Structures are given as C-alpha cells and as structure tokens.
Amino acid sequence: MATRLEAPRWPARLDLLQSGTGLALGLFMWVHMFFVSSILLGKDAMWTVARFFEGYYFFGRPLYWLVSMLVAVIFTLFVVHAALALRKFPASYRQYRIYREHMQGMKHEDTTLWYWQVVTGFALFFMASVHLYIMMTRPDRIGPFESADRVWSDLMWPLYLVMLFAVEFHGGIGLYRLALKWGWFAGPDALATRRKLRTFKWALTAFFLVLGIATLLAYIKIGIEHAPNYGEHYVPTFLQGSAP
C-alpha cells in the first residue's frame, strides 16, 4: 500500500485555529464584561480599572499605547476568527435556503442555534470592527465620563445594545458548541451532558445580558447628566482638590 499520506490536513488545522480564536475571544468577552461593569460599583472603580490597563500603577503615568496594543491583539484574533468563519457561511442564496429548510425540518435546538451563531457572527463583522477601531485609536478616551459621553453624546448606545445581544448569543453558543465538540465536561450519558450544558449556557447568557444592560444603562445615565460638560475628563474623588 502507498505509504505517502496525501489527504490534506489543513482543514483540520484551520478548524482548530477557529476553535482556538473563538475560545480566546469568548473568554475575553466574559472578562471584558466584568471590567466594563465596574461602573456599577461607581465612577472611581471604573477609573481605577481603566488606569490599570494603561499601566498607571506600574509606571506612574498612563501609557495609552499599551491599551492600543491590547486592542490590536484582540482585533487580530477577531479578524483571523472571522476569516476562518467565512468557510462556514452559506456561500449563496441557494445554500442559505437549504439550511433554512433543513432547520425547519429538523426542529433541533442545536441546529437552530448554529443558524443564530452565523447570523450574529455576520452582524459582528461590522459592529465589532467599529468598536475595536475606536478603542484602538482613542485609548486616551476610556473612563467614566469619557466612555459615558461616547455612549450617549456620540450615539454609540444603539450599536452597543445590539452588539451586546449579538456577542452574548454568539459567544455563548460558540462556547457551548466547543464543549460539545471536544467533549469537555462529558459524562457517561451524552444526552444528559448536552441538556446540562445547554441549561448552563442559557443561564450564562441571561446573566451576561442582565449585567450588560445594567452597565449600559449606567453609562447612559452618566452620559445624559454629563452631556453639558461633554469632553471633560473624570477626576476620581480621592484625587479631587489635589494637584491635577
């Protein structure tokens, strides 16, 4: 028999890379949500978190390019992931129709979830790019007033609202599918595992949606109050009155 292995291995490697970037992005989105929601603990808490990423506590002054670098890394992961995801999208209206009909016949939650993962993934192409570009180019404008001004006065809240739902559904479904695909948390009964994972997935989605909406409302409230002083930087209470 022939000893040379001719079947290409690239598709498997690309799939692994898509899963890897998806996992990194999905986990990052959870951590990201906790950082952003620090505003719920107060303006000072959010100010502290923002300064932390600028290296303020290590170098004694904010290094904004650190934030730009971090965003650039996420942006790269995002572009690689999206490029790989293109392989899975319906490539024509005919394929799209086939999938829709298949989904309506199957009436299987996981088949339907994959459809929504593709739809939300498509939406993220545009929405996440806008957000990432702004964060990368204006890292100096991240803070309680600065971010609230962007949300309200710069009219980012409609984008953030839709993007919140898109990311939470997309990331939640994606991580659930990863767990199924690689057998993480698998028990002896495959169906029971799947049911448990699905419940867990929906619970997480609900949690992050509630946290996300509460956070967005908090920024909107600050944004409305701060609109007359648009553009002004926030100075934390513990530094107010002291030298700038």
| DSSP state for residue 60 in the 8-state scheme | S
Contact flag: residue 201 with ligand HEM (CB under 6 A): no
Distances (CA, A) of 190 to 78, 103, 181, 194: 32, 22, 12, 6
Residue 82 · residue 46 · CB < 8 Å: no
If the CB atoms of residues 83 and 98 are measured against other proteins, the closer one turns out to be 98
| 220, two tokens | 């909107």
If the CB atoms of residues 45 and 180 are measured against ligand HEM, the closer one turns out to be 180
Q: Which does 205 bind (CB under 5 to 8 A by kind): other proteins, ligand HEM, none?
A: none
Contact flag: residue 111 with ligand HEM (CB under 6 A): no
| 6, two tokens | 């001719």
Name residues contacting other proteins, limited to 109-128 (CB under 8 A): 111, 114-115
| Rounded Cα gap, residues 58 and 183, in angstroms | 41
Q: Which does 107 bind (CB under 5 to 8 A by kind): ligand HEM, other proteins, none?
A: other proteins
Name residues contacting ligand HEM, limited to 7-66 (CB under 6 A): 18-19, 22-23, 25-26, 29
Q: What are phi and psi of 44, to 5 degrees?
A: -65, -40
Burial bucket for residue 39 (CB in 10 Å: 0-12, 13-18, 19+): buried
| 229, two tokens | 């002083």
Q: Which does 210 bind (CB under 5 to 8 A by kind): other proteins, ligand HEM, none?
A: none
Q: How far is the CB of 25 from other proteins (least distance, A)?
A: 21
Task: Output the CA torsion 173→41→158→109 (10° steps).
Answer: 20
14, 106, 130, 155: which one contacts other proteins (CB under 8 A)? 106
Contact flag: residue 206 with other proteins (CB under 8 A): no
Q: Tell me if residue 43 falls in helix, strand or coil.
A: helix
By CB under 6 A, the count of residues binding ligand HEM is: 27
| Rounded Cα gap, residues 223 and 153, in angstroms | 7
Q: Which does 81 bind (CB under 5 to 8 A by kind): other proteins, ligand HEM, none?
A: ligand HEM
Taking CB under 8 A as the binding criterion, the range among 71-79, 108-116, 168-176, 185-193 that sits at the site for other proteins is 108-116
| Rounded Cα gap, residues 81 and 93, in angstroms | 23
Q: Residue type at 193? A: T
Q: How far is the CB of 205 from ligand HEM (least distance, A)?
A: 11
Residue 161 · residue 123 · CB < 8 Å: no
Interface ranges with ligand HEM (CB under 6 A): 18-19, 22-23, 25-26, 29, 78, 81-82, 85, 88, 114, 117-118, 121-122, 124-125, 128, 167, 170-171, 174-175, 177-178
Interface ranges with other proteins (CB under 8 A): 1-3, 5-7, 88, 90-91, 95, 98-99, 102-108, 111, 114-115
